[in-house]
């Protein structure tokens, strides 16, 4: 297991690997290179939601499919968008709008009663992006769910033996980015057949920066 101090060293190097002044705040991305997994025998479809211990400057955008009281609660709780039954029906004939919706929001929550219709109408657009909604049962703590998903990131497979995801941004200090990275590493390890033994390397980079290899890769 890579230690927090090792991760912090790589974050510090990543901060200094891009000397160009940018007009936007860059993110830190963690990239896993995996090993000893036969993708022909193992379904390595990693699509994990990780709730970070330290929130990012740009919170995740969350769209809620809801009706009645849940729609009102979602609006009051500050959901980035609330889609009710009538609008969902309209999206069935508006492919361009449906595609745009799938791109604009990182996470989707939905009344359980709407899940079958969402699958029919938006499944072709949300499914390939790994963004099918999380069901919200009746009387669920919707406000708390919304708050939690705003601090989340999605970690997905990249090709056969690569996984990547955001773990921080320039507004966070190195220790907080490292804590986020460790939370992501732990969750990915739980999805691998042999846990950390399947991780060949970890690489950190800023959005526009150079790749910074971890000690794990240097020793591999």
pLDDT above 70 coverage of the chain, percent? 93
pLDDT tens, residue by residue, 99-113: 999 999 999 999 999
For position 18, what pLDDT does the model report?
66
- Nearest Cα neighbor of 101 from 123, 86, 75, 116 is 123
Say if residue 71 is in the same domain as residue 137: yes
Could you say which DSSP state residue 120 is in?
Answer: H
For residues 66 and 141, membership in a common domain is answered with yes
Check residue 214 and give its pLDDT: 61
Which of 120, 149, 178 finishes a domain?
149
* Nearest-angstrom CA–CA distance, 156 and 45: 8
Q: Could you give the 3-state DSSP secondary structure of residue 11?
A: helix
Spatial contact of 2 and 215, defined as CB atoms under 8 Å apart: yes
Averaged confidence pLDDT in the chain:
90
Whole-structure pTM value: 0.86
Parent domain of 176? 4-56+154-219
The confidence score (pLDDT) of residue 220 equals 39
pLDDT in tens, 6-59: 899 989 888 876 666 677 888 999 999 999 988 777 777 889 999 999 999 999
pLDDT the model gives residue 48: 92
- pLDDT confidence of 158, banded at 50, 70, 90? low
Q: What pLDDT is recorded for position 219?
A: 43
CATH number, domain with residue 74: 3.40.50.790
Give the end of a domain, one of 149, 169, 190: 149
Q: pLDDT at position 138, please?
A: 87
Do 68 and 145 reside in the same domain of the chain?
yes
**Domain tally for the chain?**
2
Residue 19's pLDDT is what? 62
**Given this model, what pLDDT does residue 159 score?**
61
């Amino acid at each position: 297991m890579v230690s927090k101090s090792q991760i912090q060293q790589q974050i510090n190097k990543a901060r200094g690997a891009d000397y160009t002044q940018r007009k936007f705040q860059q993110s830190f991305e963690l990239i896993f290179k995996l090993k000893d997994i036969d993708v022909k025998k193992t379904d390595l479809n990693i699509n994990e939601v990780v709730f970070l211990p330290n929130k990012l400057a740009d919170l995740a955008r969350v769209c809620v499919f809801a009706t009645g009281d849940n729609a009102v609660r979602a609006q009051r709780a500050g959901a980035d968008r609330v889609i009710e039954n009538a609008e969902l029906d309209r999206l069935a004939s508006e492919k361009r709008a449906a595609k745009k919706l799938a791109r604009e929001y990182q996470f989707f929550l939905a009344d359980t009663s709407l899940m079958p219709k969402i699958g029919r109408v938006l499944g072709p657009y949300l499914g390939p992006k790994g963004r099918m909604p999380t069901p919200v049962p009746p009387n669920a703590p919707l406000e708390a769910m919304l708050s939690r998903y705003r601090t989340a990131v999605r970690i997905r497979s990249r090709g056969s033996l690569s996984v990547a995801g955001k773990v921080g941004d320039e507004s966070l200090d190195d220790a907080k980015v490292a804590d986020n990275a460790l939370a992501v590493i732990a969750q990915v390890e739980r999805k691998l057949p042999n846990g950390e033994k399947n991780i060949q390397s970890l690489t950190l980079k800023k959005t526009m920066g150079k790749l910074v290899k971890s000690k794990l890769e240097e020793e591999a």
